[in-house]
Structure 1
Amino acid sequence: MMVMDKYTGPSYLTTDDGREVVPILPVKRDFFLGTSACTRKQFPLMASYAITVHKSQSITVDKMVTDLSERDFQTGLSYVAVSRVKMLDGLMIDAPFERASLHYEKLPDGVLMKVRDQDR
């Protein structure tokens, strides 16, 4: 996913799930370096990376984009993901999600096993 804050043009197409696709065109700049005429051509992109929730447990980031639309396959993964960001305004949730997917009425079996082991 690419967030382009300054792009105000129309989308090129819209996917079946409603995401708008926009073209990324190269930008050309002409300038002088001393008396030499120079041209720089580049794509207006910012480097970013993706990481799994498990690998993110030891890092803290200023900004992040995450998708909470799928239910956790292991209790607490959503919490681990969103707790990596330093401040709430640095968090972007990419897709709508059900609050129920973050709350468990009954503790999963793995958590119950841990509790029983700790009580021994």
Structure 2
Amino acid sequence: MGIIKVKNIRVYAHHGCLKEETIIGSDYRVDLVVKVDLSKSARTDELSDTVDYVFLNRVVREEMAIPSKLLETVAQRILDRIFAEDKLVKKADVSVSKINPPIGGDVEMVTIKMSQKANK
């Protein structure tokens, strides 16, 4: 088994419960960790035998582009897409962070993290 990490994917998106957040938008950070059997790709040296991190980055960017009230909704969409489109993924963790959230204080970021395992 192995792990592929795509860290600090920076995205400007329009998520939030406040109308202003969906109009103005803000900066986000997404971190993704997928668990996958890397033994075959280590032997074959073929991209088709592993999970392509370009694919992972694309899924994050496409799902972050769809406005949602809650970060949990965005994270679940990312997980759903990963498992639907790449059967090699055994487990995935996604963290979605809103940078400088409008919560009335000096807060660097708020983060939600969700994990999911592949259906057997």
Specify the TM-score bucket, using the shorter chain as the normaliser: under 0.3
Q: TM-score, normalised by structure 1?
A: 0.24
Higher strand share: 2
Q: With CA pairs under 8 Å and 6+ residues apart, which has the higher RCO, 1 or 2? A: 2
Higher helix share: 2
Larger Rg: 1
Q: TM-score, normalised by structure 2?
A: 0.24
